[in-house]
Structure 1
């Protein structure tokens, strides 16, 4: 779909714009004191990892995609963009439910994007779910460890970090689980017309 291409490109432009503004005006970024240096390194990599993979490998060897997977790219870019917007608007510190919602929604986006980009289309629902849980839960653990090492251990958040981390891991895992189920349904629906064409073909 054309709109996914434009949406993915717009998301990248906004992401890079916010990262650049955070470099120029760190006090206004919303990530000052929240591992800003690590975010300024990880976030552009997160937003560009699929295009870099496609340029280096996927465009010539990918068995899943004949053209660049824009929908997957959009889903893999949105988590970094939305997190920056949330911090810039101070939503994580002023809206009680925002952090929990983001761990659920953004991990769902990221897991869905990874599945669409890299998971074989013929996986069963169970295998798709296991892959989603494997990636989503592992990524959530890496994120929480990164947060602890870079800023939580030296911040007032340390007092509530254990409870918060357990909640974040649970919500991230549930988001990944939902993404796995949805991606299986979407890819299954997309494959139905192709299967029908093969069945109905006189050849």
Structure 2
């Protein structure tokens, strides 16, 4: 039963995320979803959520047909997207002052924990895994902030706080990745 639940969890997370995105995009008149690029998220989030499983199946499963898929790691990678969308659905970004900061730390912890679990067995020594996971987290945090700039900031919204918010988000994402690297490295 536990194995079946673990196998289903990534699908459940994906469906909950896509369901909320669809409601946000296609249900008119909900202010909390206005100007938050939910149309772009409806396309990008499922693709990003399915990237790790697709890469794993392409590179690992083809080389080792007997390999067991890391469904728990896939779930961790996908979980941050669900948390982000749920935060918007519950209007937490606009009503809880620390929500955005907590998300950048926690979601990068989830994301890089999942990535670390997938790549962890092939990286030696342990400190190299911690550095790799942290570095990947920093690069992904920068990429995410570039996406936020392209989507929101360059058009004039959120200009007043953009610089400070971007630096803080990158730092929190990298710190979340460092914590993930330490946990995954310790687990190994």
The TM-score with structure 2 as length reference comes to 0.89
Q: Which moved more, 1:149-158 or 1:91-100?
A: 149-158
> In the alignment, what sits opposite 1:194?
none
> In the alignment, what sits opposite 1:171?
172
Residue 148, structure 1, aligned to residue 149, structure 2: yes
**1:83-129, CA deviations, whole angstroms, 9 ceiling, x for partnerless residues?**
00001111011101111100000011111111112343452231011
Q: Which moved more, 1:112-121 or 1:169-178?
A: 112-121
Cα distance in 2, alignment partners of residues 21 and 37 from structure 1:
11
Residue 52, structure 1, aligned to residue 50, structure 2: no
Contact 2:21/2:38 (8 A) holds in 1: no
Moved over 4 A (4+): none
> In the alignment, what sits opposite 2:81?
80
Q: Which moved more, 1:17-26 or 1:168-177?
A: 17-26
Cα distance in 2, alignment partners of residues 116 and 26 from structure 1:
40
Contact 1:22/1:29 (8 A) holds in 2: no
Task: List runs of 5+ in structure 1 lacking aligned partners.
Answer: 189-203
Cα separation, partners in 2 of 1:135 and 1:122, compared to 1, 3 Å: closer
Paired residues in the alignment total 186
> In the alignment, what sits opposite 1:201?
none
Q: Which moved more, 1:97-106 or 1:145-154?
A: 145-154
**1:110-169, CA deviations, whole angstroms, 9 ceiling, x for partnerless residues?**
111111123434522310111012110000001111101111232441111111111111
Contact 1:133/1:173 (8 A) holds in 2: yes
> In the alignment, what sits opposite 2:110?
109
Contact 1:72/1:114 (8 A) holds in 2: yes
Residue 37, structure 1, aligned to residue 39, structure 2: yes
Contact 2:120/2:185 (8 A) holds in 1: no
Q: Which moved more, 1:119-128 or 1:8-17?
A: 119-128
Contact 1:21/1:29 (8 A) holds in 2: no
Alignment of 1:113-132 (within 5 A): 113-132=114-133
Larger Rg: 1
Contact 1:111/1:136 (8 A) holds in 2: yes
Task: List runs of 5+ in structure 2 lacking aligned partners.
Answer: none
CA offset at residue 62 of structure 1?
Answer: 5.1
Q: Which moved more, 1:170-179 or 1:144-153?
A: 144-153
Cα separation, partners in 2 of 1:71 and 1:158, compared to 1, 3 Å: same
Name the Cα RMSD after superposition: 2.1
